A and B are shown apart, each in its own frame.
Chain A
Amino acid sequence: MKNIVGKFFFVLCMALLLSCPAPSAYAKDLSGDLEIFSWWAGDEGPALNALIELYEKQNPKVKIINATVTGGSGVNAKAVLKTRMLGGEPPDSFQVHAGQELIGTWVEAERMENLASLFKDEGWLDAFPKGLVKLIGTDKGIWSVPVNIHRSNVCWYIPANLKKWGIEVPKTWDDFFAVAPKLKAKGIVPLALAQNWTANHLWESVALASLGPDKWDALWSGKLAFDSPEGIRAWELFGKVLEYTNDDASSLSWQQATDMVVDGKAAFNIMGDWAAGYLNTTKKLAPVTGFGWAPSPGTGGEFIFLADSFGLPKGSPHKDNALAWLRLLGSKEGSDAFNPLKGSISARVDSDLSKYNDYAKSAAKDFGKDRIVGSLAHGVTANEGFMNDFASVMEMFLKSKNAAVTGKAAQQVATKNKIGR
């Protein structure tokens, strides 16, 4: 009996030994594994799969491990990533919001490989807008490859419904306050809101409308305080907007809030333009005729942007495979395969617009001419410490609706997290 167990273990050990991959890096044909870590599951999954298919066509011997962790805005994925990095088990390449979220967390911790030479070799310094490259880099290097550009301040609606109710898309918040009570009287929610992070998302659109782009930038460079009169006015406006949202917001996902608009239960929804992908791909609505969009009230001519990007962590187990992945992401081909499905626009200046739908065409046009500012809710303007504390400041406001105290709290949070240092 003992013998059998012993033999069994011997065989098991041999099998394990044999299955260990031999280190065969510098081969021209890439092989082995490539683990990609992202939060693109569910509705955003098809876009990622398009990229993976393309990669597999180019490198048929590489086995892709698609490690996704669901959760809007990457709430869960980021935590999983941190435990993996701290445990010395980094994925080959991971998704991260370009901007302070990457720089404040990973670059300052010296966990990322510098991609400046890759940018130079591939000619990306000219392919991406200058402002964007500056944003994903520091004075020491460039740290990630941007895959897409999303717009945060978009107001979504169903044109047929608006016609039925006899209202126009509000250009300013005052316009909105003029129609909102009428909608409310009809039992329609004027503005659909979902769980907590979407409140942050709405806040940035409202605050930008209240402050204007110059003061918005001043807020993040530390030149304007959150508890200044302007800062507090932004919270006051936000409080007024909240009065016209649904009261079950905290139990809805962003898709459910968008569904409220589609089902005619709500008139408008302010959400990033991943909603275009959702409305188009999942809900099968045609842009312009099926669903409509406009800049969120008071932010016409302004473009709150956020970008997803992929970086190369130090200690990536299959570095060559990961570099090939990054090369694909930054290429025109990869970018134009991914973005039409994701509902975003390409970060490249030379993308083939004919492949994109009507929404993306209009967004790309706006991106070219609008004033570009960074998003708070999606990691462009502030580091993760501030974003986390800001979420509790938001909770404080949702409960107390006290603009002055909230402004003060936000300023304390900003000081603590060295915003604009």
Chain B
Amino acid sequence: MRNISRDHIKAILTLLPSIILIGVFVYGFICNTFWTSMTDWGGSGALAENPEKNYIGLSNYRDLFTGFLGGGFRQDLVNAVFYSVSLLCGAIGLGLFIAILLDCKPRGEGFFRTAFLYPMSLSFIVTGTIWRWMLAPNGGVNILPSYVGMEKLPLKWLTSTRTILEFNWQNLWQVLLCVIAFFMIMAGLWKLKDETSRAGKRWIVIGVMTGTLAWLFGDILPKALFMEELHGFNLATLGIVMATIWQYSGYTMALYLAGFTGISQDMRDAAMLDGASSAGYYRFVALPMLRPITLSAIIILSHISLKMFDLIFAMTGPDNAETGHPALTMYLTTFRANDFAKGAAIAIVLFMIAATFIIPYLISSYRKGND
């Protein structure tokens, strides 16, 4: 008993410094930011030594989501969602593809592995500057064809003003319901392939019903904004997506490659003996075994994409609505407009979105640890 308690004391003493530091510098500051976001700290005199701060509740958040001047923030938010989704698909897809190629043990595998992983070691500012030059309208990638005597490409990587998948922010709830219905149907179809098909059918029925209801009677839903405001996926963001995929596909490749190497050769031989093709082996044997890796790649990439700042700043600069991101808006609102309270509100919104990705993951891994 004495031994255990001394052990405990030692453990607590060892952990105490980091608990205090994390408590103050992470959780303390999160709380402080949250408090700031509920005040009216900003405007003239915001930078005084003892600035005046009054509690105003949630009105900063209301301004951001429903105010006339919050349009820029809303577009940035929509943009960030599209950016995250395309980054996830791109980086995981490409990383997986390279990993599978390298798993076939081509000659010079080690060289390629390093080559593909190398972009990870660059800072975003460097990546951003390189890609800004490469995607410049009158240089880089666009003039490559002219070296072989062809016309130069007219692509506007970072300066396009086109927007696709536009929707009206007023119909936000309707759109969200449709998206949820879509995912339910997809989940149902996925489940249908398993032998117990009842759950799958249920998902599909509920999904289809929600979808049609939202489609037909969406007008009854309360309007999310008092005026029409179109938001969508700005094509100029594609250039930034490309740069990020270039930087991070090597990372997902390394994750998958480690996973593939961890699968014993016996398993592969057994699958081959049962008549599995290479594609079949990866599809039905290797990938399902690597589900935890896919999950952690999704978690890490999605929160990287939500925090993305330096790459966008280096590639397209501030005040560029076409490639805006809430993290940039947060910085500019705080440190240029001196509107500290609103900047804090944007930071908290970002924090909440990141939490919706990370907390379920933490809970599930915590449960697994307890089993």
Contact = CB atoms under 8 A, between A and B. Distances in A.
Interface SS, B side: loop
A257 B156 CA distance: 17
A108 B335 contact: no
A399 B71 CA distance: 12
Contacts of A249: 159
A83 interface: yes
A282 interface: no
A409 B68 contact: yes
A395 B47 contact: no
Contacts of B48: 108-111
B325 interface: no
B336 A79 contact: yes
B226 to A, nearest CB: 13
Nearest to B157: A251
B332 interface: yes
Contacts of A412: 68-69
A86 B36 CA distance: 15
Nearest to B324: A395
A113 to B, nearest CB: 14
25 contacts: A78-B336, A79-B331, A82-B47, A82-B335, A82-B338, A109-B44, A109-B46, A110-B45, A110-B48, A110-B49, A195-B320, A196-B317, A196-B319, A385-B43, A388-B333, A391-B319, A392-B321, A394-B319, A395-B319, A395-B324, A398-B321, A399-B322, A409-B68, A409-B69, A413-B69
Contacts, number: 113
Please indicate which of the listed interface residues B43, B48, B136, B324 has the most CB atoms of chain A within 10 Å of its own CB. Answer: B43
Given A86-B47, A413-B69, A418-B44, A197 B319 contact: yes
A248 B320 CA distance: 12
A110 B47 CA distance: 8
Interface of A: 75, 78-79, 82-83, 85-86, 104-106, 108-111, 195-197, 247-251, 383-385, 387-389, 391-392, 394-396, 398-399, 409, 412-413, 416-418
A251 B69 contact: no
Given A75-B318, A111-B49, 14 more contacts: A78-B336, A85-B47, A109-B46, A111-B47, A247-B156, A250-B316, A250-B320, A251-B136, A251-B159, A388-B332, A391-B332, A394-B319, A409-B69, A417-B43
Contacts of B161: 398-399
Nearest to B76: A392
Contacts of A385: 42-44, 337-339
Given A78-B336, A412-B69, A392 B42 contact: no
Contact of B45 (A75, A83, A109, A247): A109
Please indicate which of the listed interface residues B156, B161, B318 has the most CB atoms of chain A within 10 Å of its own CB. Answer: B318
A108 B69 contact: no
Please indicate which of the listed interface residues B48, B71, B319 has the most CB atoms of chain A within 10 Å of its own CB. Answer: B319
Contacts of B158: 250-251
